[in-house]
Amino acid sequence: MDDLVPVEKKRVSEEVVSQLQRLIYIGRCKPGDRLPREKELCQALNVSKTSLREGLYVLQTMGYIEIKPRNGIYVKSPIPNTMPQPVMRMFKLGPEQLLDILETLEVLGTKVASLAAERAIPQDVAEMQEVIGKFRKHLDTGKVYSSISGRSYNMQIYSLCAQACKNPLLAHLTNFAIEFIKGPLPFDVEQLDALPGFAETICKQLEEIVFSIRDRRPTRAQEAAHKHLSYIEERLRELIDENRINA
């Protein structure tokens, strides 16, 4: 792998962790990707098999990779599974915390969209357009948000924007915020599909973000992301208020 460089002998396993961790952060190695074989990694990093395995064990313990015996080493997630539990519990409490997360994602999402418009490479844009294409096909089913794959389109676009902005820390923070909203929502998700024009509007808004990134228009991309996330927040507030009244 061209992105890997030989490491110095001092604290070798830690440097192995650092280099592979960075590739996962910036999206060069994505969830589901299979890493090169141990022999190839040892050669690329100029480390012993023992040092490599020590580093891989650390990454697996942290949740970044999964080592499948006689199958290979696979990227699992750009988000470590060592998130502080008090923070995780705080944001699983209810509707108010969901809105807090969306507010945080709006701050991060608008910025990564803007930077992505400046820094995205053709492969980044192609991956975003592929997600939009899948979203378009899913619209025909009429049950976008009632399915796990349907609810993932928004998150995929912002995760790809974070990857395209080429800032590992910003990408990590954005994916960290996204991770919180992957779990159960504090209302019946079928209510989202029942909102007139909701899924179609979301798809068009995501298209606007991607087109702006493709056309290298940072300000437009930022405005499109702000419009999209604000729209989601408004609709969710309406659902939350409606559920409180009917409770």
List the end-to-end C-alpha distance of the chain, in Å, as a whole number. 56
Strand 72-75 to 65-68 pairing:
antiparallel
Kindly list the distances between the CA atom of residue 229 and the CA atoms of 14, 37, 62, 236, in Å, as whole numbers in the listed order: 38, 41, 30, 11
Q: List the one residue out of 170, 175, 172 whose CA is nearest residue 159.
A: 175
Would you list the DSSP string of the chain?
Answer: -TT-----STTHHHHHHHHHHHHHHTTSS-TTPBPPPHHHHHHHHT--HHHHHHHHHHHHHHTSEEEETTTEEEE--SS-S---HHHHHHTTS-HHHHHHHHHHHHHHHHHHHHHHHHH--HHHHHHHHHHHHHHHHHHTTS-STTSHHHHHHHHHHHHHHHHHTT-HHHHHHHHHHHHHTTS--SS-THHHHHSTTHHHHHHHHHHHHHHHHHTT-HHHHHHHHHHHHHHHHHHHHHHHHHHHHH-
pLDDT recorded at residue 149? 61
pLDDT recorded at residue 223? 97
Residue with tokens 């992505």: 116
Domains and CATH numbers, the chain: 12-75 (1.10.10.10), 85-246 (1.20.120.530)
pLDDT recorded at residue 243? 73
The tens-digit pLDDT sequence of the chain (247 residues) is 666 666 555 578 888 888 898 788 666 788 788 999 999 999 999 999 999 999 999 888 877 889 998 899 999 866 555 455 445 555 555 777 788 888 999 999 999 999 999 999 998 999 999 999 989 888 877 677 666 566 688 888 998 998 888 887 788 788 878 877 766 666 666 777 778 888 899 999 999 999 999 999 999 999 999 999 999 888 888 888 887 766 5
